[in-house]
Amino acid sequence: MDLSNLLKPDAVKVLATVTSKKRLFQDLGDIAHSAYGLDAIQTVDALQEREALGPTGVGHGVALPHARLHGLDRVVGVFLRLEKPLDFDAVDRLPVDLIFALFAPKDSGVDHLKALALVSRTMRNAEVCTKLRANTDPAALHAVLTAAAGGVQAA
């Protein structure tokens, strides 16, 4: 499993301003719909339901929202770079500007966990985050993510 299998180039976006976590989840739902054909409303509801269990802001400006959905046959991702960081109730209380959302089949077990671990390791890499913050071109962001994860394989 690697990020190039999880993340389509058209599922990588840069957003100028997001005013709330709810709005962010709506944007993620819309992008997941256009990139993967997921039901946007179901996607938003699943993200909000998961977030209610505890914030997915992991610190250092990074959030990893994730949800399990009916109708998926594999794990897929959406990456957003925010030009203006958003308060996300992260563990370090810092706003987030890098969001990597994962969507997994409702009954996925180990694949969902492997994908989450791979994304987490990739997004903990300070060099990768610096490159992501230095780029505003979605194609360049996709290239940074997929190249970085090439050396970070899931077991």
What is the 3-state secondary structure of 65-86?
CEEEECCCCCCEEEEEEEEEEE
Cα separation values, 88 from 54, 99, 129, 138, Å: 11, 10, 17, 22
Q: How far apart are CA 87 and CA 148, in angstroms?
A: 26
The DSSP call for residue 100 is E
Q: Give me the residue label for tokens 């987030």.
A: 96
Q: Which residues are catalytic?
A: 66
